[in-house]
Structure 1
Amino acid sequence: MPGIFGGDDVSAIVVDCGSSTFRIGWAGEDTPRGVIPTAYGWLPDPEEGGDAISKAAAADGNTTSAEDAMEGVEPTGKSTSAAGASTDANETQPDAASTSKSSAAAEKWRAKIYGEKRKRFFGDIAVGMYREGGEIASPLNDEGALSSTASFLAQTEYALRASLQADPREHPLMVTEPSWNSKEMREEMTEIAFEGLQVPAYYLANSTVLSAFAAGKPTALIVDVGENSMSAIPVVDGFILRKGIHRQPIGGRAVSRALFHSLREPPPQSPRAGKLTEIFPHYLIQSKVPVEPGRPPQVKLREDRLKGSTESFRMYHTLKVLNDFKEACAQVMEIPWDESHALQRPSKTYEFPDGYNDSFGVERLRGPEILFNPKSWQGVGDVLPAPASGTADYVGLADLALQAINSTDVDSRAALFSNVVCVGGSTSLPGLTDRLSYEISIKAAGQKIKIHSPGNLVERKYSSWIGGSILSSLGTFHSLWLSKQEYDEHGPALVHARCK
């Protein structure tokens, strides 16, 4: 029965997989126990492609005891695994006891899922470690929906053991989903939980509703600017208004691409002495010599790594450098774009891994402008993805929020205007909330506008996980769990009726 999993008897596990990071932790805690990149590294592994656990068992270098986090480690601490070839992580074999207890159906399902012949590496250090021919991929597509069942299952298994040292068969599991998730994906997530992880109880929660729950607002407009997209979604009395869902594939990664273009092609008015031609990540640098600001870098590269790097691996590290630059220097102007005002703003100095350094002024302001004025970047290189066929042109974040509000009933609009909640890592850009408030106030004159954005960056970045932690720890929530018995009787389609 679902009720036996409620209350304080058994701690639930909350999993929140975003475009940038994968969060996992115990229900009732303030922050997730484990935060790892959603991206994972992989190498072709034709001989061991069917081994479920070995693909998830690359240890995260941030953990203090990587071996203890792996399945297959005996109670005495002696690992039954063999050392990995390219990392200091150990790859382990499946636990014979747990395998024998698995049902034939579950084993058949897992064998089908793990048909991909890949050796996977999870965790910040393991993903970023150079391996000749190593690729970088994600279990999610650009829409935030599940694209690789095997990779998501392997990543969850890794996080459970590396971060929580928990057996999923002993704990209820809550997983978050985007508001635009399809029915097929919802059923597939349910199968992963019950067939792959063999959890005793499960719940699939809407990430937007959880963000509103974390903010303590049953009615709110959730403005989420993530890695790959930005969205404005109205929540009224704890329920999503489907007709009000508005989203665009413009997020933190688009800002990074715009910043890169601004660094390579500075405006004529820029006082910079030189321009950035290419980004060389840390793993390619063998040695470098300090240079004057604006001068070309004097760097010696690792030629073997330059030739052995795949496009996806180098792009992953290039985006990490651009993300660091974005966090250190980028800023959103508090008023609509004005070149003369931007030129008067103070500059910030930054040094890239190859030694190139300079003071950046208008460039650090032009990139984030893509969030509020995407048309200014239309047709500029590959900064903006092409709009989907049959869709309207991209609009700014303020217009997106207004479209979402105007899609709702008139009676709800006043409450939404006064409860605009900003979440997502990219909303931490300085000046973003001020600009959003200014533009909405101008375009919706007469309305009382109030922007709510948690001052704590952790609360803003992990708002959906925090909402799930609060919700699943409530004693009144125990009746909502979907139990294994119910799943066996009705199948994965039951998730649509139980998890609305």
Structure 2
Amino acid sequence: MYCGDEVGAFVGDVGSLSSKFGYAGEDTPNCIVPSIVGSKPNAPRSVLGQSALFAARGIDALPQAISLVDDKNAYDWDVVETLWTHAFEQLHANPSEHAILASLSPFDMAVAPKYMELMFETFRAPAFFVAKDAVLNAFSFGKSTALVADVGAGSTRVVPVVDGFALHGSAQRSVVGGEALGLQLQKMLLDKHKVEIQPCVRKYGDGDVPAAPAMSDAYLQFRRLEVVRDLKESLCLMPETTLNEELAESTPADPYELPDGQVVLVGSERFKIPEKLMHPDVIGADSTTVATSSKGLHRMLYSALQSSDVDVRRELLNNLILCGGGSALPGLTERVHWEMSQLVPSSLKVRITQMTPVERKFSTWIGGSILASLGSFQQLWVSKREYEERGGDHLASSRFL
């Protein structure tokens, strides 16, 4: 057991798109970086952080991108270590002097022993705790019971939280997250408008941008998705009810200027892409970028609700939380409310927690900041001595419930 709270705890939320770090008790994270690490030829150390990744001053200097999660959804622990190392350096924190709290999805708790190994053996932290992100999302809004829908970049997850515990048996997950929608939008623009997204490349003087043989495919796609993400956030809108394709096709297109100066007119794509969250098969089964077998968001919410104890369903519905970067999509809150109202009996009221864009984006980290600063939590830390005596596998199964 570790109960020392003389030095504030350090909180980290390593997400599929971005990672957030800071000290417990703060309102928002102090260090936010893309969850991607770049490497340059003959460079002594990794390139990380928004400014470093985008500040290449020459074609040969462009980094090779390495993502946090590989094609098989397995963590790259070198990337995880680099992200935490960067955060400690940026915030001038000595990890051996701080208890550390990290978040994990309920679906990823199998890697908790590896996380303990990293923190205790590499960073020599005095204490560590892994909290489930759904629980932290609920805590960030002052709730111990809630139905949490986290629309992230890599996936969308729905987890009921009851009395501070995530109900893993009722949890739902879909591969349709923000990145999958971005890939679909990128494909639609290429198929319909013959427009291939090109990333922003700095130019020095007049003339065409030279070819970039040193730019890896992974880094090029990373930069392309940055452009697609901005387009999606600028123009996409969730339909109020189930998408009417004829109406969507007749809606006037909105112009969007790409970094290379091209102007693309975005029409029905503005509505079809968001609709993919609710009905993954809306674009057709020939899609190569989004699995059409996934449940829609409202169906995941309903399934999670139905598989929870009947005694808590009313309270879960009264405390529905939409969080994650993708939840900021205009019209999503209203659409989810409409869909859920069609599914549940009229005697049950659907109430979605109101929140600001910042709260949506950082809710996991904010919940961790709150939890790690509570006096009543201090006795729950796993100490380095416990780790050495009992081992990570045993502690992960008995302490991180």
TM-score, normalised by the number of residues in structure 2:
0.93
Q: Indicate whether 1:148 and 2:92 are aligned.
A: no
Contact 1:377 1:384 in 2 (8 A): no
Q: Indicate whether 1:191 and 2:129 are aligned.
A: no
Cα separation, 2, equivalents of 1:222 and 1:143: 25
Equivalent residue pairs, number: 396
Q: Indicate whether 1:464 and 2:364 are aligned.
A: yes
Deviation of 1:129 (Å): 4.4
State the match for 1:203 in structure 2. 129
State the match for 1:496 in structure 2. 397
Inter-CA distance 394–280: structure 2 relative to 1 (3 Å threshold): same
Contact 2:272 2:282 in 1 (8 A): no
State the match for 1:81 in structure 2. none
In the alignment, residue 428 of structure 1 is paired with which amino acid?
A: A
Q: How does 1:218-237 map to 2 (within 5 A)?
A: 218-237=144-163
State the match for 2:321 in structure 1. 421
3-state DSSP class of the match of 2:240? coil
Contact 2:156 2:173 in 1 (8 A): yes
State the match for 1:483 in structure 2. 383
**Could you give the per-residue CA deviations for residues 190-221 of structure 1, whole angstroms, max 9, x where no partner exists?**
01010010011111111110001111121111
Deviation of 1:343 (Å): 4.2
Inter-CA distance 489–24: structure 2 relative to 1 (3 Å threshold): same
Contact 1:471 1:477 in 2 (8 A): yes
3-state DSSP class of the match of 1:435? helix
Contact 2:10 2:23 in 1 (8 A): yes
In the alignment, residue 396 of structure 2 is paired with which amino acid?
A: V
Cα separation, 2, equivalents of 1:380 and 1:192: 42
In the alignment, residue 113 of structure 2 is paired with which amino acid?
A: E
Contact 2:159 2:167 in 1 (8 A): yes
Cα separation, 2, equivalents of 1:287 and 1:430: 39
Cα separation, 2, equivalents of 1:229 and 1:143: 13
Q: How does 1:125-140 map to 2 (within 5 A)?
A: 125-130=51-56, 132=60, 134-140=63-69
Deviation of 1:417 (Å): 1.5
In the alignment, residue 315 of structure 1 is paired with which amino acid?
A: Q
Contact 1:286 1:301 in 2 (8 A): no
Q: Indicate whether 1:264 and 2:165 are aligned.
A: no
Cα separation, 2, equivalents of 1:450 and 1:142: 37
Of 313, 319, 323, which residue of structure 1 is paired with 2:225? 319
Of 195, 200, 206, which residue of structure 2 is paired with 1:282? 200
Cα separation, 1, equivalents of 2:68 and 2:188: 31
Of 328, 333, 337, which residue of structure 1 is paired with 2:239? 333
**Could you give the per-residue CA deviations for residues 320-373 of structure 1, whole angstroms, max 9, x where no partner exists?**
000010111111111110023324545433100111114433221111111111
State the match for 1:20 in structure 2. 17
Cα separation, 1, equivalents of 2:305 and 2:399: 28
Q: How does 1:292-371 map to 2 (within 5 A)?
A: 300-303=208-211, 305=212, 307-343=213-249, 345=251, 347-371=253-277
Contact 1:212 1:220 in 2 (8 A): yes
3-state DSSP class of the match of 1:210? helix
**Could you give the per-residue CA deviations for residues 297-317 of structure 1, whole angstroms, max 9, x where no partner exists?**
xx83322x1x33221111011
RMSD of aligned Cα (Å): 2.1
Contact 2:53 2:63 in 1 (8 A): no
Inter-CA distance 142–421: structure 2 relative to 1 (3 Å threshold): farther
Q: How does 1:158-169 map to 2 (within 5 A)?
A: 158-162=86-90, 164-169=91-96
3-state DSSP class of the match of 2:46? strand
Cα separation, 1, equivalents of 2:189 and 2:306: 38
Is 460-469 or 350-359 further displaced after alignment? 350-359
Inter-CA distance 142–174: structure 2 relative to 1 (3 Å threshold): farther
Inter-CA distance 383–453: structure 2 relative to 1 (3 Å threshold): farther
3-state DSSP class of the match of 2:365? helix
Report the structure number with the largest CA radius of gyration: 1
Contact 2:127 2:383 in 1 (8 A): yes
Contact 1:346 1:361 in 2 (8 A): yes
Q: Indicate whether 1:180 and 2:88 are aligned.
A: no
State the match for 1:245 in structure 2. 171
3-state DSSP class of the match of 1:370? helix
Deviation of 1:383 (Å): 2.4
Gaps of 5+ in 1: 46-84, 86-90, 92-118, 267-274, 289-298, 388-392
Cα separation, 2, equivalents of 1:480 and 1:182: 17
Inter-CA distance 144–23: structure 2 relative to 1 (3 Å threshold): farther
Contact 1:18 1:144 in 2 (8 A): no
Q: Higher relative CO (CA 8 A, sep ≥ 6), structure 1 or 2? A: 2
Cα separation, 2, equivalents of 1:360 and 1:487: 54
State the match for 1:170 in structure 2. 97
Cα separation, 2, equivalents of 1:286 and 1:374: 43
Cα separation, 2, equivalents of 1:341 and 1:482: 56
Contact 1:258 1:370 in 2 (8 A): no
Q: How does 1:407-446 map to 2 (within 5 A)?
A: 407-446=307-346
Cα separation, 1, equivalents of 2:30 and 2:136: 18
Gaps of 5+ in 2: none
Cα separation, 2, equivalents of 1:448 and 1:370: 25
In the alignment, residue 498 of structure 1 is paired with which amino acid?
A: R
TM-score, normalised by the number of residues in structure 1:
0.75
Q: Identity over aligned residues, as a percent?
A: 34
Deviation of 1:376 (Å): 1.8
State the match for 1:33 in structure 2. 30
3-state DSSP class of the match of 1:181? helix
Cα separation, 1, equivalents of 2:231 and 2:386: 50
Deviation of 1:381 (Å): 3.9
Contact 1:378 1:384 in 2 (8 A): no
Is 28-37 or 252-261 further displaced after alignment? 252-261
